[in-house]
Amino acid sequence: MRTILNIIWLVFAGFELFLMYILFGLIAMIPIITIPAGVASFRMALYVLWPFGRKVVK
């Protein structure tokens, strides 16, 4: 079931959000002060690409 939901998510919203997070991450890497935001953006991009079946832990 998770695989089916992930494929549906990827087709309808996941890929576009993934590209936006990657683009923002690249832009955030330009100034030194926003590098942590860029790294967080890359991590979120992977989560947005294939979200179902993952757990967020602190």
Residues 25-49 have pLDDT tens digits of: 999 999 999 999 999 999 999 888 8
12 occurs within a structural domain: yes
* Residue 8 within a domain: yes
Residue 57: pLDDT over 70: no
The Cα 17–Cα 6 span in angstroms is 14
Structural domain range at position 22: 2-49
Residue with more model confidence, 3 or 17: 17
Count of H-run helices and E-run strands, the chain: 3, 0
Entry pTM: 0.78
Distance separating alpha carbons of residues 15 and 13, to the nearest angstrom = 6
Number of domains composing the chain: 1
Mean of all residue pLDDT scores within the chain:
88
Question: Token match 């890497």: residue?
Answer: 29
Q: What share of the chain is helix, strand, coil (3-state, %, to 5)?
A: 80, 0, 20
